[in-house]
């Protein structure tokens, strides 16, 4: 969007920062096991497509996805999700929609796990966001797995996000 309208340009900058903040808040909430904060980053329902990691695409009630994530990650001693390289693309027809493309660097550690304590997922996310009365929220999330490293079974019963 190119315009000489300063107010519109400032709004676009503010929106871009709010969108990136939402995507980063999603990652940080996972690491902190802040499941209420995690839920607050998404719409209800939310479309999740983690099919490359074994979770088929579906529209899920937000609480169901939060429950899945919290249960799948509970077995890890520590987690660190880095969310870099944000590229925000606004919908040309609707100023209340945007996609934030971001990299995924998801580290998982399980102290003393047989077969290795470390598991790493690398890839990217397509975060589709909408503006709501409560700010920008992730309405759809597609995970792309580029490569995996380490022991995915380190946290028995856990399936990394």
- The full set of domain ranges for the chain reads 6-150
Which pLDDT belongs to residue 159?
Answer: 42
Class of domain 6-150: alpha beta
Per-residue pLDDT tens digits for 122-151 = 999 999 999 999 999 999 999 999 999 999
Which pLDDT belongs to residue 20?
Answer: 98
> What's the number of CA atoms in the CB half-sphere (13 Å) around residue 19?
26
Per-residue pLDDT tens digits for 84-130 = 999 999 999 999 999 999 999 999 999 999 999 999 999 999 999 99
What does pTM read for this prediction?
A: 0.92
- Phi/psi of residue 117, each to 5°? -90, -5
């Amino acid at each position: 969007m190119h315009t000489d309208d300063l107010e519109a340009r400032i709004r676009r900058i503010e929106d871009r920062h709010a969108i990136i903040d939402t995507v980063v808040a999603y990652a940080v909430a996972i690491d902190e096991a802040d499941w209420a904060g995690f839920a607050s980053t998404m719409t209800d329902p939310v479309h999740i497509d983690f099919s490359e990691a074994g979770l088929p695409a579906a529209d899920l009630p937000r609480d169901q996805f939060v429950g899945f994530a919290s249960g799948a990650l509970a077995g890890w001693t520590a987690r660190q999700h880095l969310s870099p390289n944000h590229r925000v693309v606004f919908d040309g027809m609707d100023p209340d929609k945007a996609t934030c493309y971001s990299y995924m660097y998801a580290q998982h550690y399980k102290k003393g796990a047989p077969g290795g304590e470390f598991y790493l997922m690398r890839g990217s996310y397509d975060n589709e966001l909408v503006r709501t009365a409560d700010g920008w929220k992730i309405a759809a999330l597609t995970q792309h797995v580029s490569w995996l490293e380490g022991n995915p079974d380190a946290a028995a019963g856990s399936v990394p996000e």
